[in-house]
Structure 1
Amino acid sequence: MTDTCRRPIPGVAPERTDGTSTPAHRDHTVDALRAVAILGVVLGHWMVSAIVSDPYLPSTLHGESPLSYIPQFAPASWFLQTLGLFFFAGGYAAARSRRRAKADPTRTREGHRARWARVPRLGARYHRLVRPLLLFAAVWVPALLLLDAIDAPARTQHVVTSLVTHPLWFLPVYLALVALTTPLIKLVARWGLWSILPAICVVGITDGLRANGLPLGWKIAVTVIGWSVPYLLGIAMAENRLPRYAGAGLLALGGTAGALLVLVVGYPASAVGVPGDRWSNLDPPSLFTVSLAFAQLGVFLLLRARLAGPLRRPRLARTVTLLNRTAMELFCWHQTAMLLVVFAGLLVGRHLPGLLDTPDGRWLLHRLVWVPLFLLTLAGLVAVFHRASPRHPPTGEVGRAGRVGDDTETSTERGALPSRGA
């Protein structure tokens, strides 16, 4: 490992290495990265999820993609599909958590820690994810049963179920990678950045087999393997194995590879699934998705040092912290917020531009008009369910240093991402 990898980035405080369990202070740049990621997911779903009302049966709804009607806007999806940033931040936080756990003063003489701290506080991470999900299920399971009980149109039931449940695929994949954190850290320690190469090869082989169809089990496995690439890069940064110049390299590699895959090889240009495309770049993640993650992370690494100063400003810091602390609620309830506005729109009529009409022409511009109302509705849902979720960590995670939210490495508070800094 070179000194270049170990030198601190200007403006970003290094982790304390004196054996204490508390970092010098949080890395606000990774906080901001998570905030951008959650905003990208929320806005991305709102902009590509059109709900269309039947002109003769207004209560009969079905889903459409505006990118099917306006394919020239496919490049916009490159900025709104930010899942690579999620997994990168998750890998970074999990690796830092493991480092802190190894230096945990609560170890016994035999070298064993409390049950919840054995695998980067795995039990606490799972607990913080499950709590908001249980509240989400407590609301939506009865709601979906009610739609069936009142004989709501089958297409309406289908689109509602799809919108509220489909984004949840992210959580089991993330939790699988969290469970694999220890062997992945060992892989990075042994091979450095070369550790991502086997996963990229598996994704490439899978792309070559897509034309013949992929077995469900293989798709699930490749989904985990594909998203392990940015997760491993996050671990590499936490372990000081990602040099400063890697940002330029990732941006150049990701941009060049992505352009070649779309323009020469014929990959779909959209970063999200679009009906009528040859396949979805997300199901499972393709080489284009990996290239997009490289480009996005390259930009982050290049800007990281310059972002550290502005992110210490109180107002911006509070906004970033709020987005991180409520990440799980934002993730769970953003589609619900959109649906509530759509259902309210049905009371007015199906001719509301950007809400219930066919997503063609100027639909995307009309949709932007509705985004503030979506945000306001989402803010209300988050305020209610964030307070309703219990805040105490599981029994066994005691002491201020190990409390949820007191350190970046353990805080996945309210979200699939670490919440209070990295």
Structure 2
Amino acid sequence: MRVLTASATLAAAIDARTPAHRDRAVDGLRALALLAVPTGHWLVGGFTLDAGGGLHNASPLATVGALAPASWILQMLGIFFLVGGYSSYLSYQRRAGSAREWTAGRLRRLGRPVLGVTAGWALLLPILYYGFGFPTVTLHTASTLVVQPLWFVGVYAVITALTPYCVGASRRLGFWAAAPLLGSVAVVDFLRYGPYADTVPPWLGLLNLLTGWMFAYQVGVSWADKRLSRRQAWLLLAGGAVLFATLLLAFRYPVSMVGVPGAVRTNSHPPSLLVLALAAAQSGAAVLLRDRLARLLSRPTLWAPVVIINLLAMTILCWHQSAMLAVALPASSVGEIAGLTAAPDTAGWVLARLAWMPLFAGLLVAIAKVARPLDAPWERTGVARRVAVGVLAAGFGYFALAA
């Protein structure tokens, strides 16, 4: 009873401190998209053990095909970029300094947590190797998982730097500013998978990396710019849904929204047209449900978790794989454990992994309490310490990517 009373009191206090102009619906969408990232990674991030006890990455998507449609729900990066564009537009319009100063401030906010997690793991690796005797292959596997979500931060940072151009495009073209991005991805996909696929260079798909993820961001900018009407939101929802179904059924796009080991084609790295179709449908639904979601989040007990999740956004993104590894690494020393180190090749493994996920979540909360200060501004951090952090981060990145 005391816990419930304390929680209600905290929720009421958070609600009371929330400015009246705060867009609760947008914050709620961001929190939902954030939670989908660890949920998805924890669900498909399986392992196997080799004869020497080394830990290797594996995915249940390679053997449990029925799990693939779950990625349609858990792939919410489109929503994340949508609210990112929305929030960046408002922040850009309220900026006190120049566009360059605004961009630099945003990039610093994105870069600090990345440097924190990579430098932290650079210090941890020697302890795990020399102090606990984990094999090199296990540490390579862990490092790969740690850097796996960080590609998103890099792409998001580049797109954030292009915010002034997105604002200009919205003012000139309104809602239709995102159409050229969709068309560009469609052309690249046609070249990659159409009748001329054998004649195009393998790097061509990388052209979709920026334009593909920028699509929803541009829609978000136009939404904040009041250039996206409800009628156009319905067009996004219906058009995205029809395009999604057409690509799956008529053009045989892969069912999974994330990469499947051994598959020739992937939808996510870089994003295919199917990812944009899903992002369009999700964006349209988000705009249409905005008012209803805002009313729902007017309740303090629902609003308080949203505030906390948003405050810990970069911490969650950067450290959620570490929470899973905090369980998987010790388990690898024991042997094959269902849902952890046993091969993810049955539906039973999926059920076992679901049972482990509350522990991952609890550990992420504990890690966040320690890692949160790493996201704070570094004004009081000396030059030597900043250089040391940069060197450690670079060394860890090299180790992880050379795995």
Q: TM-score range by the shorter chain?
A: 0.7 to 0.9
Give the distance between the partners of 1:315 and 1:388, measured in 2 at CA.
Answer: 28
* 1:204 corresponds to: 186
- Report the equivalent of 2:103: 122
Cα gap change, 1:214/1:297 in structure 2, threshold over 3 Å: closer, same or farther? farther
- The within-5 A match list for 1:6-405 is 25-54=21-50, 56-57=51-52, 59-101=53-95, 104=96, 113=97, 117-119=98-100, 121-144=102-125, 153-210=135-192, 211-212=197-198, 214-216=201-203, 218-350=204-336, 352-361=337-346, 362-391=348-377
Closer/same/farther in 2, CA of residues 314 and 120 from structure 1, 3 Å limit: farther
Secondary structure at the aligned position of 1:62 is classed as: strand
Cα distance in structure 2, aligned partners of 1:336 and 1:379: 11
State the alpha-carbon separation in 2 of the partners of residues 295 and 73 from structure 1.
21
**Change in 2 beyond 3 A, CA 1:388/1:230:** closer
Partners of 2:44 and 2:61 within 8 A in 1: yes
Correspondence for 1:414 = none
- In structure 2, what residue type is equivalent to 1:309? R
Deviations 1:366-419 (A, max 9, x none): 11100000000110011111134435789xxxxxxxxxxxxxxxxxxxxxxxxx
State the shift of 1:321 in Å: 0.7
CA-CA distance at 1:340 after TM superposition: 0.7
Q: Which amino acid aligns with 2:284?
A: G
Structure 1: gaps spanning 5 or more residues: 1-22, 105-112, 395-422
CA contact (8 A) 2:208 2:272 kept: no
Whether the 8 Å contact between 1:127 and 1:393 is mirrored in structure 2 is: no
Change (3 A) 1:358 1:189: same
- Residues 42-97 of structure 1: CA deviation (Å, up to 9, x unaligned): 1000011101123x33x211111111111122110011111111111111111111
The aligned length equals 357
Code of the residue aligned with 1:267 in structure 2: it is Y
Q: CA deviation at 1:143?
A: 3.2
- Other structure's SS at 1:309 match: helix
Q: Distance in 1 between matches of 2:363 and 2:201?
A: 39
Query: Cα gap change, 1:346/1:148 in structure 2, threshold over 3 Å: closer, same or farther?
Result: closer
Indicate how the Cα distance of structure 1 residues 159 and 136 shifts in structure 2: closer, same or farther if over 3 A, else same. Answer: same
Residue 56 of structure 2 aligns to a residue whose secondary structure is strand
8 Å contact kept, 1:94–1:120: no
- Alignment deviations for residues 204-223 of structure 1 (CA, whole Å, 9 cap, x no partner): 1221233446554x444421
Structure 2, unpaired ranges of 5+:
1-18, 381-403
CA RMSD of aligned residues (A): 2.4
Offset at residue 152 of structure 1 (A):
5.0
Whether the 8 Å contact between 1:251 and 1:294 is mirrored in structure 2 is yes
Letter of the 1:168 partner, please give it.
L
Q: Equivalents in 1 of 2:128, 2:167: separation in Å?
A: 46
Q: Deviation of residue 284 (structure 1)? A: 1.1
Identity of aligned residues (%): 41
Give the conservation status (yes or no) of the 8 Å contact 1:207–1:287.
Answer: yes
> When you count helix as a share of all residues, which structure comes out higher?
2
Aligned residues of 1:124 and 1:393 also touching (Cα < 8 A): no
Which residue number in structure 1 is paired with residue 385 of structure 2? none
